[in-house]
């Protein structure tokens, strides 16, 4: 099975799982968003406090930790926007076609 076909099967399976267990799917993404946001904010706060108290720290350390914090905050925005967009995406999704594709993927 080629890489594209494996990815296609994985995405279809993920969509079917999300449609079957919508509440747990949304709860999981909300939790990921909150954890990433809290952790990113905490790290960012620590880096601001540390940089204001000492002038001997290297700029590389500051940039790396700030980038990690920014990545976590960005992931938080991604997960939270995914949760908010789900009802709209679900409305325009052909659920029966996805379930039929999942059955076809399982038969291969």
Q: What is the pLDDT along the chain (108 residues), one digit of tens a residue?
A: 688 888 988 999 888 988 899 999 999 999 999 999 999 999 989 888 877 776 666 777 788 888 999 999 999 999 999 999 999 988 998 999 999 988 888 776
**What pTM, to 2 d.p., does this model score?**
0.78
Q: How far apart are the first and last CA of the chain?
A: 10
Give the pLDDT confidence score for residue 28 in this predicted structure. Answer: 94
Give the pLDDT confidence score for residue 61 in this predicted structure. Answer: 76
Structure tokens at 78: 């991604």
**Phi and psi at residue 57, to the nearest 5°:** -75, 150
Give the pLDDT confidence score for residue 85 in this predicted structure. Answer: 94
**In which residue are the tokens 């500051």 written?**
62
Q: Measured in whole angstroms, how far is the alpha carbon of residue 36 from the centre of its chain? A: 9
Residue 48 CA to residue 29 CA, distance in Å, equals 28
Give the pLDDT confidence score for residue 57 in this predicted structure. Answer: 61
DSSP track, 29-42: HHHHHHHHHHHHHH
């Amino acid at each position: 099975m080629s890489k594209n076909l494996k990815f296609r099967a994985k995405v279809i399976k993920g969509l079917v799982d999300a449609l079957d267990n919508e509440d747990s799917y949304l709860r999981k993404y909300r939790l990921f968003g909150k954890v990433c946001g809290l952790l990113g904010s905490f790290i960012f706060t620590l880096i601001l406090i540390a940089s204001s108290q000492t002038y001997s720290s290297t700029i590389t350390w500051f940039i790396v930790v700030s980038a990690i914090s920014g990545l976590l905050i960005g992931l938080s925005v991604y997960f939270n926007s995914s949760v908010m967009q789900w009802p709209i995406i679900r409305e325009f999704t052909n659920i029966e076609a996805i379930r039929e594709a999942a059955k076809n993927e399982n038969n291969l």
